[in-house]
Structure 1
Amino acid sequence: MAKNVWIGVRGAEQWFKAPAPRAAFQPVGWSATTQGRNGRVTGRASRVTHMEYDLSWPTISASEGRKVNDWFYGVAGSGLIHWLDPMLENVLPAHWSMPGLGCTDGPVLYGLTRPTAVSTATNTKNLPATSAVYTLGAGVAPQCYIPIPPDYTAHIGVHGGTTSTGNSIVVARPMNGETAIGSSTVLPWISTSSTTRFTTTFPRTGAMTGLSIRIAPGETFGTVTTPNSGTIAGIMVEVLPDGQSPSGTGFIRGGGNSGCRMFEPATEVALHAVEGRERMSVAAKLIEVGP
């Protein structure tokens, strides 16, 4: 599947011809600058961004090309469009991989108030300098969905705390599209001082199409209860073919997305209209809108 990407509406992803190289995968955020009379510039910008993808297929069969607009029209459902960027070693969006961003201008990943910011303990893994302390309270707990192709496995590591023992406040659960299946797994802490990067694997099995993760302090899952409070420095998720292990030694910031939409239909340009040789050029813009 080296020349294909795993993409589609949540729960209905499939292998699809890879888009053309040199496409723009652009993080986009808010910014504003002011030009001073002294010639200097002042400004502010959000540290957190969303992803925008300009995907194009210069030549593709007509039947395959029209599948791109199927995502826009919701042929397979009205859910978000998910895809795995094959260049990523951490498929999480940046703000999920670095929960400390939620202490300033990033999305709040649990509850109704921003988490408390603390300095991450000195480490050799290049973890984010700011960790987030999430504590049991009222409010919402958004979930981040990670698609997993058949014969692939998700490897997860939750970095934080001060020891390598005990349960973290992050849980993972197998999903079939929008529907949770199976039991939630409370993920263990990986100490900031440990050289370990991943602790838990989730191979795709049965009706499973992907995995969701969320922050859940003070909740009980079967016989396991998460702590009422926890400090998260970073989270890593790498999706690899079965039997292949992650490589590397340090923390890698996420560069993926939490689900996209097409706000305009894809552009279709006919190239060949001869029966049996119908080809077209297709271009589509995907914008991240997930939590």
Structure 2
Amino acid sequence: MSKKMWFGVEGRMRWVDTPQSGADVSPKGFSVGGTLLNGGGYADGSFGSHKEYGFSWSGASSRQAAGIMQAYAAGTYGRGLIYFLDPHTLDTNVLPAHWADPSLAIGDESPQLIRSRRLPLTGVPTANAEANDIPAVTAVYDLADAATGFPGERDSLFIPVPPGTSLRIGAIYTRTGSGGIFAAPVDAAGTAGTATLLTQVSPTATDIIPDEILPGAVGVRVWLGKSADGPATVSVAAMIGRIMSTLTATATSPKRLGPWMPGDGHTGCRFVGKPTLVRYNGVGGGQVGYATTLTEVGAWEY
């Protein structure tokens, strides 16, 4: 899988060649700094961020490979968000930063996991956070008057899952009432299937990704919510997701063990401009090089 990357829009994904090494996949956030009149310094910036990806492919690439990327940029295969799985993140944490660390939403530094639920300005200290190196603050969602069931695309996270693999996921949280963190497979039409209530993982757990979610035709959706009417809360400290072969995701697999790692995924991207294309020669039917920039917009677009 390291030579290929799972890429596309939600209903039309495929394996594409992995970009060349040295790709810039840095998070981007607001920052400002300078020097005061008395010689002191100042710096300020957002805790939250979005991802920006600068990808380029070899000058020995095929015309077909370059054409596929151009077609995605043109909306030929669908005009939805672009999703992909960087092979380097499959065994770290494929969740976006603010899903991996929900406390980032405190103070509106990052999007809320439920758009209509604004977190208090302070969180709750996470007990035993050092055990698996999880975030120091737990985010508490009061769901007393929240809707029940699947909240729709706007308040859920789509995770593409390639054929032959599954999503192993762990949520370090507690709940009251019918509140919880849920996951469901997604079919080719984008419909979420039967929901699974994720296990409440302890901060000191050895196996930090106990739940295996088999994908539908395209992937998995994850959300925070409740399954029935009435008072409910969800207090979530951290989440982690890894893509693993369904044949090797055993309880003793080292990849299921801690510690927690920050989120290295995204909520869906858009092309910045169009992919560049350089024609080099006619070898093997024609060799070209191409490059593109993708910016994460999913959590802010809807």
TM-score under structure 2 normalisation? 0.86
Are residues 178 and 126 of structure 1, via their aligned partners in 2, closer, same or farther at CA, if it must alter by over 3 Å?
Answer: farther
Q: Does structure 2 conserve the Cα–Cα contact (< 8 Å) formed by 1:167 and 1:189?
A: no
Are residues 94 and 156 of structure 1, via their aligned partners in 2, closer, same or farther at CA, if it must alter by over 3 Å?
Answer: same
Deviations 1:5-30 (A, max 9, x none): 11112221111111000111110011
1-structure distance, mates of 2:277, 2:239? 39
1:188 offset after TM fit, Å?
2.1
Are residues 113 and 44 of structure 1, via their aligned partners in 2, closer, same or farther at CA, if it must alter by over 3 Å?
Answer: farther
2-structure distance, mates of 1:178, 1:80? 15
Question: Counterparts of 1:1-291 in structure 2 under 5 Å?
Answer: 1-59=1-59, 60-88=61-89, 89-104=92-107, 105-116=109-120, 117-123=123-129, 124-136=131-143, 137-138=145-146, 142-161=155-174, 169-177=180-188, 179-205=190-216, 208-216=217-225, 218-220=226-228, 228-245=232-249, 246-273=255-282, 276-291=284-299
1:113 offset after TM fit, Å?
4.2
Bigger mean CA offset, 126-135 vs 246-255: 246-255
Are residues 198 and 247 of structure 1, via their aligned partners in 2, closer, same or farther at CA, if it must alter by over 3 Å?
Answer: closer
Bigger mean CA offset, 14-23 vs 276-285: 276-285
Are residues 108 and 166 of structure 1, via their aligned partners in 2, closer, same or farther at CA, if it must alter by over 3 Å?
Answer: closer
Are residues 71 and 183 of structure 1, via their aligned partners in 2, closer, same or farther at CA, if it must alter by over 3 Å?
Answer: same
RMSD of aligned residue pairs (Cα, Å) = 2.2
1:130 offset after TM fit, Å?
0.8
4+ residue segments displaced more than 6 Å? none
Letter in 2 for 1:283: A
2-structure distance, mates of 1:27, 1:281? 25
Give the % identical residues: 30
Q: Does structure 2 conserve the Cα–Cα contact (< 8 Å) formed by 1:168 and 1:189?
A: no
In structure 2, runs of 5+ residues without a counterpart are: 250-254
Are residues 177 and 257 of structure 1, via their aligned partners in 2, closer, same or farther at CA, if it must alter by over 3 Å?
Answer: farther
1:166 offset after TM fit, Å?
9.4
Letter in 2 for 1:187: L
Q: Does structure 1 conserve the Cα–Cα contact (< 8 Å) formed by 2:126 and 2:237?
A: yes
Q: Does structure 2 conserve the Cα–Cα contact (< 8 Å) formed by 1:167 and 1:188?
A: no
In structure 1, runs of 5+ residues without a counterpart are: none
The alignment covers a number of residue pairs equal to 281
Are residues 132 and 213 of structure 1, via their aligned partners in 2, closer, same or farther at CA, if it must alter by over 3 Å?
Answer: same
2-structure distance, mates of 1:155, 1:86? 16
1:160 offset after TM fit, Å?
1.9
TM-score under structure 1 normalisation? 0.89
Letter in 1 for 2:174: G
Are residues 161 and 239 of structure 1, via their aligned partners in 2, closer, same or farther at CA, if it must alter by over 3 Å?
Answer: same
1-structure distance, mates of 2:115, 2:279? 50
